[in-house]
Amino acid sequence: MIECKNVSKIYQTTSVETPALKGVSFQIKDGEFVAIMGPSGSGKSTLMHILGALDTPTEGEYFLDGKNVASLSDDELADIRKNKIGFIFQSFNLLPRATVIRNVILPLVYANVVKEEREKKARQALADAGLEETQFDHLSNQLSGGQMQRVAIARALVNDPSLILADEPTGNLDTKTGDIVMGTFQKLNKEQKRTIIIITHEHDVAEYADRIIFIRDGALVEDRENEHKRLGARTK
Amino acid sequence: MKTSDLFQETFLAIIANKVRSGLTILGIVIGIGSVIAMVSIGQGSAKSITDRVESLGTNLLTIMPGSQRGQMVRGGMGSATTLTLEDAEALKTISTVKTVAPTVSSRKQITIKGSNTNTSIYGIDANYFSVKSITLELGIAFSEVQYKSKNKVAIIGPTTRDTLFGENTDPVGQKIRIDGQEYTVIGVSESKGGTGMGSSDDLIYIPLGTAQQYITGSDKLSNISVEVLAADLMDSTEEAISALLLQRHNIASADSADFSIMNQADMLSAMTDMTSTLTLLLGSIAGISLIVGGIGIMNMMLTTVTERTREIGLRKAIGAKRGDISLQFLSEAVTLTFISGIIGILLGWLLSYLVSHFGGITTTISPQSVILAFGVSGAIGIIFGYYPARRAAKLNPIDALRYE
Ligand SMILES: Nc1ncnc2c1ncn2[C@@H]1O[C@H](COP(=O)(O)OP(=O)(O)OP(=O)(O)O)[C@@H](O)[C@H]1O
Ligand SMILES: [Mg+2]
């Protein structure tokens, strides 16, 4: 259960203040599949970082499962991030100079998953994200944008998070791979009741969701059910 | 995070950043290696100098004719001739004096068939060898009779022997000519090391009476060596000798004394002062390289902070705790410093070995210099590898990921 109460975020640089979010309020219940849309620079990523407990609002409150995130300790936040949340960054943020497989294993290391299982889980997650097996041992900074995106997706899903936050997960993928990824999300949502929030520019992609939130200039402008729901390409 | 994971992360991080790790290691290695090598050279020379001075005899006072003041003008110590055998006899009455060894010395031309050299001739008495802690390598010391009857017999230093007769030969029984007169060699003294002035290896000993009669032609002495009963009696004995000789020479004030007394302990401490200055000098050069190395390490660690801060943000975003991050970076810094420390110590040891092997300078590696060098570079490596990381671990993941 996610609840934003009047959330604002103002970026303070030396001379200027940039208000990225201006009093956004909404709720997302467990098991919902939500798409966030809006023009570039409207504050989508900023909102997503707050939802993922990676950043805190400058004003207003954000409750995750009833807990005010700003009041949690650093270690409590770390526990939430590793056990509950799978985050796919717009810019991927892979560990450079580490192999693909190592990048996907890392969340399992911090979550104290036993050694024997890590490799197996990581390989499975990478395969599910559609990455070729031959690339598992490549360094992550030697991949193409689309390949990095798939590694980032695998890393977010490897630990079976109950809340999946994806910042433009299909932005670097061709339509076919994009459909496969969205199909996976839809399946995780329908069959395993995971909460999924994605950011996207494309209406096609947003149509997979049950609900679409529109943001403009840091404010919520529309929040509606998605009538033209679309079913993803079926995966195994 | 488990310990085995920590080690794996450390290993992967060091391997992944080969150049950075290599440069950090190089900085620490140079810092540690040079400190150890420099200090070992300094302390080695200090020790060999002190050893040499000590080998010349301990508790020793040497009385030389000629005043302390203006001795330069009068032509150097030992050139004046105011000390007599009676003075030497009189010194024996001082209770703290153990032995008195009057000496006559002079430089003369020595010839044998087919070879010649120019060296110091020492006229000595029976106490001399014990006062100067000199032992014989070959032959026997002068006998009572030889002293009394002023025989032309000689004991030669090992270097003189080498020059005249060839290395490690036994010249006992051979004849040498000093100033044209023939002497029989009856012994060779043991080498005490050292070369040049004051070396006890390149000289010839003959009985005191013989020297006074045939070499200097006078009953004056070149100096008197006095062995004092104990080290803590040196100063009082020196005063007593001074008073006695002033009285015997009818001189009212110590300022116009016609002799001077040299204290072996003074000489030793002068030498020690000199060598500790040397050690200090080498030490500061080494210290500078340690600082330069340290700044290198610091620079290395700090310039990678931006990159590492992003990494820290990323790790936190996928669930790393602050403690996980701190531990990882601490472990990385400790590992790098430790590896460099070992290599640095080996390098320092190798350098000082090479210096003593090819440079002929004695070197002593002291544990203090190892600890100091290791400690300083280790501390720098750990502080500058660990604290920026700890600071970055306190940022929230997004701020760390954006860090510039
Ligand atoms: N660290 C920052 N410092 C200052 N301003 C920032 C910072 N991050 C974002 N902003 C500003 O906040 C606003 C919202 O940025 P945000 O990244 O949330 O946009 P977005 O909706 O994700 O855009 P896009 O669709 O292009 O990814 C922008 O005007 C941006 O310039
Ligand atoms: Mg964005």
Chain segment B260-319, per-residue pLDDT in tens: 888 877 777 777 788 778 878 887 887 887 787 778 777 877 777 778 889 999 999 999
Write the pLDDT tens digit of every residue in A139-181: 998 999 999 999 999 999 999 999 999 999 999 889 988 998 8
ipTM higher than the 0.85 cut: yes
Q: Tell me how far CA of residue A217 lies from CA of A3, A25, A167, B170, in angstroms.
A: 20, 14, 18, 107
Among the partner-chain residues A78, A93, A98, the one whose CB lies closest to the CB of B319 is: A78
- Is B402's C-beta closer than 6 angstroms to any atom of ligand 1? yes
Ligand nearest to the CA of A88: 2
Give chain B's count of helices (H) and strands (E). Answer: 14, 12
The predicted structure's pLDDT at residue B57: 65
At B375, the pLDDT band (50, 70, 90 cuts) reads confident
Task: Say if the Cβ atoms of B316 and A78 lie within 8 Å.
Answer: yes
**Whole-prediction pTM:** 0.72
Q: Tell me how far CA of residue A5 lies from CA of A18, A38, A60, A108, in angstroms.
A: 20, 20, 6, 33
At B114, the pLDDT band (50, 70, 90 cuts) reads confident
**For residues B390-404, average pLDDT:** 88
Q: What is the bridge-based pairing of β-strands B115-124 and B136-139?
A: unpaired
What CA–CA distance (Å, rounded) separates B251 from B73?
Answer: 20
As given in the structure block, the two tokens for residue B119 are 């060296």
Q: Which of A29-33, B23-27, B263-267, B382-386 has the lowest mean pLDDT?
A: B263-267
pLDDT at A233 over 60: no
At B27, the pLDDT band (50, 70, 90 cuts) reads confident
Q: Look up residue B140 and give its DSSP letter.
A: -
pLDDT at B240 over 80: yes
pLDDT at A234 over 50: no
pLDDT at B68 over 70: no
pLDDT > 70 fraction of chain A, expressed in percent and rounded? 98
Which residues in chain A have Cβ-Cβ distances shorter than 8 Å to B20? Answer: none
Pairs across A and B, CB distance < 8 A:
70
The predicted structure's pLDDT at residue B175: 92
Interface test with B, best of A79, A95, A119 (most B CBs within 10 A): A95
* A82 vs B: CB within 8 A: yes
What CA–CA distance (Å, rounded) separates B144 from B126?
Answer: 8
What CA–CA distance (Å, rounded) separates A80 from B319?
Answer: 8
Task: Say if the Cβ atoms of B401 and A107 lie within 8 Å.
Answer: no
What CA–CA distance (Å, rounded) separates B395 from B384?
Answer: 18
pLDDT at B74 over 70: no
- Is A218's C-beta closer than 6 angstroms to any atom of ligand 1? no
In DSSP notation, B206-246 reads EEHHHIIIIII-SSEESEEEEEESSGGGHHHHHHHHHHHHH
Comparing CA positions, the residue from B228, B285, B222, B287 lying closest to residue B259 is B222
- Is A20's C-beta closer than 6 angstroms to any atom of ligand 1? yes
Ligand nearest to the CA of B402: 1
Amino acid at B315: R
Give chain A's count of helices (H) and strands (E). Answer: 7, 10
**For residues B119-124, average pLDDT:** 91
Q: Which of A214-218, B122-126, B225-229, B284-288 has the lowest mean pLDDT?
A: B284-288
Ligand nearest to the CA of A43: 1
pLDDT > 90 fraction of chain A, expressed in percent and rounded? 85
The beta-carbon contacts of A139-146 under 8 Å, at least 24 apart in sequence, are A139/A96, A139/A97, A139/A98, A139/A99, A139/A100, A140/A94, A140/A95, A140/A96, A140/A97, A140/A98, A140/A99, A140/A100, A140/A103, A141/A94, A141/A96, A141/A97, A143/A100, A145/A172, A146/A172, A146/A173, A146/A174, A146/A177
Which residues in chain A have Cβ-Cβ distances shorter than 8 Å to B319? Answer: 78-79, 81-83, 107, 110-111, 159
pLDDT at B379 over 60: yes
Write the pLDDT tens digit of every residue in B312-338: 999 999 999 999 998 988 888 888 888
Q: Which residue's CA is minimally distant from atom 16 of ligand 1?
A: A43
